[in-house]
Amino acid sequence: MLDQRGTGLSTAISQSSLQLRGDEKVQAEYMKSFRADSIVKDCEAIRKALTANYPEDKKKWSILGQSFGGFCCTTYLSFYPEGVKEAFLFGGLPPLRNNADEVYERLYERVKQRNEAYYAKYPEDVGRVHRIIKLLSRFGDTTVRVQGGEGYLSARRFLQIGIYFGKHGGLDQVHELVLRADTDLSQFGHLTRPTVLALETAQSWDTNVIYALLHEPLYCQGEASNWSAERLLEKYPEFSLKNIEEDKPVYFTGEMIYPFMFDCYPELRKLKTVGELLAQEKAWPKLYDAEQLQKNEVPTYAAVYLDDMYVDYDLSMETARTIKGCKPFVTNSMYHNAIAAKTDEVLKELFERRDDVID
């Protein structure tokens, strides 16, 4: 199992490690080398090194990717298919698009559906969320400070815990945090430090800055992301904080990146200029080769989740049809993290397709 570049023990990206590279322009330029196109080049170099003394018929390897790992697998099939024996993708068939706009339009619609499911299951949380937002906004965005004092828990930051809606048990995880925060308000009139820490722990942007910096650019080929999620937000009033005034539910957001994050997360605050430079960058190289995928000869198997909040089902199936010979397993009984939450079930389905024994 590889720690892809920028993660784990592979020269992990953090604010402090980026500063060692030079000024903001140098840092942004450096970050351009951490997308799928660079990752698969690493994989090929590793494969060749590992198999240098293997017989010719044993040099290919099988690859497996979850979520963004599946995006990397598709890049691998596009540019280095000669190194791959077979590919298994879990919630990871990427949209074959040149920017993030359509991806986020579809994402907003799916997150709306998950919010509807959440408030249907916990209708009392409409009022709880209102009370929490009012507290967080009492003196502007900086009412509640987070660990270290350099960042703050704004209302919009709080609503980002909706990212859990796409996982098994995610509705309940969000409810537990909402209930805990509202209980603090009822009993003490403020959020206690343990509750603020619980909310901080639920948000990984400070410890995974590469996620924030490259999430929108990872969709781009020759075009700028230009803060796609923020530009599209005005089309979806369900997510507006103003809904409190009209006594309407305020919807949580999902896997979206917003400019405000580079103001309220302590580590991201130090990378605001880098984030802006990457959002405006247009010179992103190709990630996928549709012509190569259409003549693909590598056996490819993909788990596709009908109700995947993070990776759009229709765009996934479009890509599955583009990859020649791709055999998808489609289900509405699993969510995006099935490889972790329902490992035996989803592996069984894909390996049955590999072994051609589903009949």
- What are the φ and ψ backbone dihedral angles of 311, each rounded to 5 degrees? -125, 120
Give the burial string for 6-34 (b: 16+ CB within 10 Å, else e).
bbeeeeebbbeebeeeeebeebbebbbeb
Annotated catalytic residue within 101, 308, 312, 316:
308
Annotated catalytic residue within 37, 184, 228, 336:
336
**Active site (annotated) includes residue 130:** no
**Active site (annotated) includes residue 314:** no
**Active site (annotated) includes residue 333:** no
Strand order in the sheet with 84-90: 61-66, 84-90, 300-305, 326-331
Start-to-end CA distance of the chain, whole Å, equals: 32
Annotated catalytic residue within 67, 78, 228, 316:
67
210 close to 13: Cβ distance less than 8 angstroms: yes
CA distances for 349 relative to 241, 297, 332, 356, angstroms? 43, 21, 14, 10
Apex CA 249: angle with CA 245 and CA 250, to 5°? 80
Of all helices (H) and strands (E), which one includes residue 205? Answer: none
- Active-site residues: which are they? 67, 308, 336
